[in-house]
Structure 1
Amino acid sequence: MSDDGVRWLDEDQQHHWRALVMGTTLLFDRLDNDLSREHGISLAEYEILVRLSEREGRRMRMAQLADSMAHSRSRVTHTVGRLEKSGLVERIKSPEDGRGVVCAMTEQGWELLVAMAPTHVRGVRDNLVDLADPADFAAVGRVFDAVADHLVAAHPEMEIRGH
Protein backbone atom coordinates (compact mmCIF):
# COMPACT_ATOMS: atom_id res chain seq x y z
CA MET A 1 0.00 0.00 0.00
CA SER A 2 1.27 3.47 -0.82
CA ASP A 3 1.40 6.46 1.51
CA ASP A 4 -1.97 7.66 0.21
CA GLY A 5 -3.67 4.39 1.26
CA VAL A 6 -4.34 3.24 -2.31
CA ARG A 7 -3.35 -0.25 -3.40
CA TRP A 8 -2.18 0.72 -6.89
CA LEU A 9 -2.20 -1.87 -9.65
CA ASP A 10 1.17 -3.32 -10.51
CA GLU A 11 2.35 -3.34 -14.12
CA ASP A 12 0.84 -6.75 -14.92
CA GLN A 13 -2.47 -5.92 -13.25
CA GLN A 14 -2.65 -2.62 -15.12
CA HIS A 15 -1.98 -4.42 -18.41
CA HIS A 16 -4.70 -7.03 -17.70
CA TRP A 17 -7.17 -4.35 -16.63
CA ARG A 18 -6.63 -2.34 -19.80
CA ALA A 19 -6.91 -5.49 -21.92
CA LEU A 20 -10.24 -6.24 -20.23
CA VAL A 21 -11.57 -2.73 -20.88
CA MET A 22 -10.42 -2.69 -24.51
CA GLY A 23 -11.51 -6.26 -25.23
CA THR A 24 -15.00 -5.96 -23.74
CA THR A 25 -15.57 -2.61 -25.45
CA LEU A 26 -14.55 -4.00 -28.84
CA LEU A 27 -16.44 -7.27 -28.30
CA PHE A 28 -19.73 -5.61 -27.35
CA ASP A 29 -19.37 -3.13 -30.22
CA ARG A 30 -18.81 -5.99 -32.69
CA LEU A 31 -21.76 -8.02 -31.37
CA ASP A 32 -23.97 -4.93 -31.51
CA ASN A 33 -22.82 -4.04 -35.04
CA ASP A 34 -23.39 -7.61 -36.30
CA LEU A 35 -26.97 -7.67 -35.00
CA SER A 36 -27.68 -4.16 -36.23
CA ARG A 37 -26.25 -4.78 -39.70
CA GLU A 38 -27.87 -8.18 -40.24
CA HIS A 39 -31.16 -7.77 -38.37
CA GLY A 40 -31.68 -4.08 -37.60
CA ILE A 41 -31.64 -4.59 -33.84
CA SER A 42 -29.19 -3.62 -31.10
CA LEU A 43 -27.45 -5.92 -28.64
CA ALA A 44 -29.50 -4.40 -25.80
CA GLU A 45 -32.73 -5.14 -27.69
CA TYR A 46 -31.54 -8.67 -28.43
CA GLU A 47 -30.77 -9.24 -24.74
CA ILE A 48 -34.30 -8.18 -23.78
CA LEU A 49 -35.76 -10.67 -26.25
CA VAL A 50 -33.45 -13.38 -24.88
CA ARG A 51 -34.55 -12.68 -21.29
CA LEU A 52 -38.20 -12.86 -22.32
CA SER A 53 -37.66 -16.07 -24.29
CA GLU A 54 -36.30 -17.79 -21.18
CA ARG A 55 -39.43 -17.11 -19.14
CA GLU A 56 -42.71 -18.96 -19.06
CA GLY A 57 -45.10 -17.37 -21.51
CA ARG A 58 -42.19 -15.27 -22.84
CA ARG A 59 -43.13 -12.46 -20.48
CA MET A 60 -41.65 -10.63 -17.49
CA ARG A 61 -42.52 -7.75 -15.24
CA MET A 62 -40.72 -4.61 -16.42
CA ALA A 63 -38.94 -4.13 -13.07
CA GLN A 64 -37.76 -7.74 -13.09
CA LEU A 65 -36.56 -7.36 -16.68
CA ALA A 66 -34.51 -4.28 -15.75
CA ASP A 67 -33.03 -6.08 -12.74
CA SER A 68 -32.11 -9.14 -14.82
CA MET A 69 -30.13 -6.95 -17.20
CA ALA A 70 -28.59 -4.78 -14.46
CA HIS A 71 -29.93 -1.72 -16.29
CA SER A 72 -31.94 1.19 -14.97
CA ARG A 73 -35.70 0.91 -15.28
CA SER A 74 -35.80 4.02 -17.45
CA ARG A 75 -33.22 2.59 -19.86
CA VAL A 76 -35.14 -0.68 -20.18
CA THR A 77 -38.43 1.22 -20.57
CA HIS A 78 -36.92 3.22 -23.45
CA THR A 79 -35.51 0.09 -25.13
CA VAL A 80 -38.78 -1.81 -24.69
CA GLY A 81 -40.55 1.17 -26.25
CA ARG A 82 -38.45 0.76 -29.42
CA LEU A 83 -39.18 -2.99 -29.47
CA GLU A 84 -42.88 -2.31 -28.98
CA LYS A 85 -42.97 0.16 -31.90
CA SER A 86 -41.41 -2.58 -34.05
CA GLY A 87 -44.10 -5.06 -33.00
CA LEU A 88 -41.60 -7.36 -31.23
CA VAL A 89 -43.02 -6.97 -27.70
CA GLU A 90 -46.09 -5.55 -26.04
CA ARG A 91 -46.64 -4.08 -22.60
CA ILE A 92 -49.68 -5.28 -20.70
CA LYS A 93 -51.06 -4.92 -17.18
CA SER A 94 -49.92 -7.64 -14.83
CA PRO A 95 -52.51 -10.44 -14.72
CA GLU A 96 -51.54 -11.13 -11.08
CA ASP A 97 -52.31 -7.74 -9.56
CA GLY A 98 -53.32 -5.38 -12.38
CA ARG A 99 -50.87 -2.73 -11.15
CA GLY A 100 -47.54 -3.84 -12.54
CA VAL A 101 -46.55 -3.76 -16.19
CA VAL A 102 -45.48 -6.92 -17.98
CA CYS A 103 -43.41 -7.03 -21.14
CA ALA A 104 -44.51 -9.89 -23.41
CA MET A 105 -42.74 -11.07 -26.56
CA THR A 106 -44.93 -11.24 -29.64
CA GLU A 107 -44.77 -14.02 -32.20
CA GLN A 108 -42.93 -11.60 -34.50
CA GLY A 109 -40.40 -11.03 -31.71
CA TRP A 110 -39.92 -14.77 -31.27
CA GLU A 111 -39.39 -15.29 -35.00
CA LEU A 112 -36.81 -12.51 -35.12
CA LEU A 113 -35.00 -13.89 -32.07
CA VAL A 114 -34.80 -17.33 -33.71
CA ALA A 115 -33.35 -15.70 -36.83
CA MET A 116 -30.86 -13.55 -34.85
CA ALA A 117 -29.56 -16.17 -32.44
CA PRO A 118 -27.16 -17.80 -34.94
CA THR A 119 -25.65 -14.39 -35.78
CA HIS A 120 -25.09 -13.65 -32.10
CA VAL A 121 -23.71 -17.08 -31.23
CA ARG A 122 -21.32 -16.99 -34.20
CA GLY A 123 -20.07 -13.59 -33.04
CA VAL A 124 -19.56 -14.78 -29.47
CA ARG A 125 -17.75 -17.91 -30.67
CA ASP A 126 -15.60 -16.21 -33.31
CA ASN A 127 -14.62 -13.26 -31.13
CA LEU A 128 -14.33 -14.83 -27.69
CA VAL A 129 -15.07 -18.48 -26.97
CA ASP A 130 -12.99 -20.03 -29.75
CA LEU A 131 -10.07 -17.65 -29.11
CA ALA A 132 -9.66 -18.76 -25.51
CA ASP A 133 -8.46 -22.00 -24.02
CA PRO A 134 -11.52 -23.70 -22.46
CA ALA A 135 -9.96 -23.50 -18.99
CA ASP A 136 -9.28 -19.77 -19.46
CA PHE A 137 -12.84 -19.16 -20.65
CA ALA A 138 -14.18 -21.05 -17.63
CA ALA A 139 -11.95 -18.90 -15.40
CA VAL A 140 -13.38 -15.72 -16.97
CA GLY A 141 -16.88 -17.00 -16.17
CA ARG A 142 -15.92 -17.69 -12.55
CA VAL A 143 -14.31 -14.25 -12.20
CA PHE A 144 -17.38 -12.44 -13.52
CA ASP A 145 -19.75 -14.56 -11.42
CA ALA A 146 -17.74 -13.35 -8.41
CA VAL A 147 -17.85 -9.74 -9.68
CA ALA A 148 -21.63 -9.90 -10.19
CA ASP A 149 -22.20 -11.56 -6.83
CA HIS A 150 -20.04 -8.93 -5.14
CA LEU A 151 -21.69 -5.95 -6.84
CA VAL A 152 -25.25 -7.22 -6.56
CA ALA A 153 -25.59 -9.34 -3.44
CA ALA A 154 -29.04 -10.57 -4.43
CA HIS A 155 -28.26 -10.97 -8.13
CA PRO A 156 -31.59 -11.19 -10.02
CA GLU A 157 -30.46 -14.05 -12.26
CA MET A 158 -29.16 -16.46 -9.62
CA GLU A 159 -31.64 -19.15 -10.67
CA ILE A 160 -30.78 -18.72 -14.36
CA ARG A 161 -27.06 -18.84 -13.62
CA GLY A 162 -27.47 -22.12 -11.71
CA HIS A 163 -26.66 -20.82 -8.22
Structure 2
Amino acid sequence: MSEIKNIPASVSERLKNIAKESGKAFDTLLLLYFQERFLYRLSISDFRDKFILKGGLFLFSQTQFKARPTKDVDFLARQIANELELLRESFIAICSISVPSDGVFFQLDKMTTERIKEDADYEGVRIKVTALLGRMRKRSCSLISDLVM
Protein backbone atom coordinates (compact mmCIF):
# COMPACT_ATOMS: atom_id res chain seq x y z
CA MET A 1 0.00 0.00 0.00
CA SER A 2 1.43 3.36 -0.98
CA GLU A 3 1.85 6.28 1.39
CA ILE A 4 -0.76 9.03 1.15
CA LYS A 5 0.97 12.26 0.17
CA ASN A 6 -1.84 14.72 0.81
CA ILE A 7 -3.76 13.51 3.86
CA PRO A 8 -6.17 16.48 4.07
CA ALA A 9 -7.18 16.02 0.42
CA SER A 10 -7.62 12.28 0.96
CA VAL A 11 -9.77 12.83 4.07
CA SER A 12 -11.82 15.48 2.27
CA GLU A 13 -12.42 13.14 -0.66
CA ARG A 14 -13.50 10.31 1.67
CA LEU A 15 -15.89 12.66 3.49
CA LYS A 16 -17.35 13.80 0.15
CA ASN A 17 -17.90 10.16 -0.85
CA ILE A 18 -19.62 9.43 2.47
CA ALA A 19 -21.77 12.54 2.02
CA LYS A 20 -22.83 11.41 -1.44
CA GLU A 21 -23.58 7.84 -0.30
CA SER A 22 -25.41 8.83 2.89
CA GLY A 23 -27.21 11.94 1.68
CA LYS A 24 -25.72 13.94 4.56
CA ALA A 25 -24.24 17.38 4.01
CA PHE A 26 -20.46 17.51 3.58
CA ASP A 27 -20.21 20.40 6.07
CA THR A 28 -22.00 18.30 8.70
CA LEU A 29 -19.62 15.40 8.17
CA LEU A 30 -16.63 17.72 8.27
CA LEU A 31 -17.80 19.19 11.58
CA LEU A 32 -18.29 15.68 13.00
CA TYR A 33 -14.82 14.75 11.79
CA PHE A 34 -13.28 17.74 13.59
CA GLN A 35 -15.22 16.92 16.75
CA GLU A 36 -14.16 13.28 16.63
CA ARG A 37 -10.53 14.20 16.09
CA PHE A 38 -10.66 16.56 19.08
CA LEU A 39 -12.21 13.78 21.19
CA TYR A 40 -9.47 11.41 20.04
CA ARG A 41 -6.80 13.87 21.16
CA LEU A 42 -8.61 14.29 24.48
CA SER A 43 -8.71 10.50 24.91
CA ILE A 44 -4.93 10.19 24.62
CA SER A 45 -4.18 13.27 26.70
CA ASP A 46 -3.51 13.67 30.40
CA PHE A 47 -6.93 15.35 30.61
CA ARG A 48 -9.00 12.33 29.53
CA ASP A 49 -10.48 11.94 33.03
CA LYS A 50 -11.04 15.66 33.52
CA PHE A 51 -13.59 16.33 30.76
CA ILE A 52 -16.70 14.12 30.54
CA LEU A 53 -18.66 14.31 27.28
CA LYS A 54 -22.29 15.35 27.73
CA GLY A 55 -25.02 17.14 25.82
CA GLY A 56 -26.07 16.82 22.21
CA LEU A 57 -22.95 15.11 20.85
CA PHE A 58 -23.13 12.51 23.62
CA LEU A 59 -26.81 11.85 22.82
CA PHE A 60 -26.00 11.76 19.10
CA SER A 61 -23.44 9.02 19.74
CA GLN A 62 -25.88 7.07 21.94
CA THR A 63 -28.58 7.01 19.24
CA GLN A 64 -26.17 5.37 16.79
CA PHE A 65 -25.86 8.70 14.98
CA LYS A 66 -29.57 8.90 14.08
CA ALA A 67 -30.27 12.12 15.98
CA ARG A 68 -29.30 15.53 14.66
CA PRO A 69 -25.66 16.35 15.48
CA THR A 70 -24.83 19.54 17.34
CA LYS A 71 -22.33 22.23 16.45
CA ASP A 72 -20.61 22.19 19.81
CA VAL A 73 -19.06 19.72 22.20
CA ASP A 74 -20.25 19.92 25.78
CA PHE A 75 -18.27 18.64 28.73
CA LEU A 76 -18.65 18.29 32.43
CA ALA A 77 -15.30 19.32 33.88
CA ARG A 78 -14.20 17.50 37.03
CA GLN A 79 -11.19 17.66 39.29
CA ILE A 80 -9.97 20.79 37.56
CA ALA A 81 -10.23 24.38 38.75
CA ASN A 82 -12.82 26.65 37.16
CA GLU A 83 -10.19 29.16 36.03
CA LEU A 84 -10.21 30.51 32.49
CA GLU A 85 -6.46 30.41 32.00
CA LEU A 86 -6.09 26.87 33.36
CA LEU A 87 -8.90 25.59 31.13
CA ARG A 88 -7.43 27.44 28.14
CA GLU A 89 -4.04 25.83 28.80
CA SER A 90 -5.72 22.43 29.07
CA PHE A 91 -7.38 22.83 25.68
CA ILE A 92 -4.16 24.11 24.13
CA ALA A 93 -2.40 20.98 25.40
CA ILE A 94 -5.14 18.75 23.98
CA CYS A 95 -5.29 20.50 20.60
CA SER A 96 -1.48 20.53 20.36
CA ILE A 97 -1.27 16.75 20.28
CA SER A 98 0.06 15.88 16.85
CA VAL A 99 -1.86 13.24 14.89
CA PRO A 100 -0.33 13.42 11.41
CA SER A 101 -2.64 10.74 10.03
CA ASP A 102 -5.81 12.85 10.39
CA GLY A 103 -4.76 16.08 8.64
CA VAL A 104 -6.43 18.25 11.30
CA PHE A 105 -4.83 21.42 12.63
CA PHE A 106 -6.26 23.58 15.41
CA GLN A 107 -5.58 27.32 15.19
CA LEU A 108 -4.57 27.90 18.79
CA ASP A 109 -3.65 31.54 18.23
CA LYS A 110 -7.33 32.24 17.52
CA MET A 111 -8.69 30.33 20.51
CA THR A 112 -11.11 32.29 22.68
CA THR A 113 -12.37 31.62 26.19
CA GLU A 114 -15.24 33.31 27.97
CA ARG A 115 -17.39 32.87 31.05
CA ILE A 116 -20.96 31.79 30.45
CA LYS A 117 -23.85 32.17 32.86
CA GLU A 118 -21.89 34.44 35.16
CA ASP A 119 -23.33 34.67 38.66
CA ALA A 120 -25.49 31.59 38.03
CA ASP A 121 -25.54 28.45 40.16
CA TYR A 122 -23.56 26.61 37.50
CA GLU A 123 -21.03 28.96 35.98
CA GLY A 124 -19.33 27.60 32.90
CA VAL A 125 -16.72 28.40 30.31
CA ARG A 126 -17.00 28.55 26.52
CA ILE A 127 -13.89 27.77 24.53
CA LYS A 128 -13.81 28.29 20.76
CA VAL A 129 -11.04 27.03 18.55
CA THR A 130 -10.98 26.82 14.77
CA ALA A 131 -10.17 23.47 13.21
CA LEU A 132 -8.71 23.21 9.72
CA LEU A 133 -8.32 20.34 7.31
CA GLY A 134 -5.27 21.22 5.27
CA ARG A 135 -5.76 24.54 3.49
CA MET A 136 -9.53 24.30 3.59
CA ARG A 137 -9.87 27.51 5.54
CA LYS A 138 -13.31 28.12 4.17
CA ARG A 139 -14.25 24.78 5.68
CA SER A 140 -12.98 25.67 9.12
CA CYS A 141 -15.34 25.35 12.03
CA SER A 142 -15.42 26.49 15.58
CA LEU A 143 -15.16 23.70 18.08
CA ILE A 144 -17.17 25.20 20.89
CA SER A 145 -16.94 23.56 24.26
CA ASP A 146 -19.24 24.62 27.02
CA LEU A 147 -17.70 23.46 30.26
CA VAL A 148 -19.87 23.09 33.33
CA MET A 149 -18.05 22.89 36.62
Interval of TM-score (by shorter of Structure 1 and Structure 2):
under 0.3
Q: Which has the bigger relative contact order, CA under 8 A and spacing at least 6?
A: 2
**TM-score when scaled to structure 1?**
0.26
Higher strand residue share:
2
Answer 1 or 2: which has greater helix percent: 1
Higher Cα Rg, which structure: 1
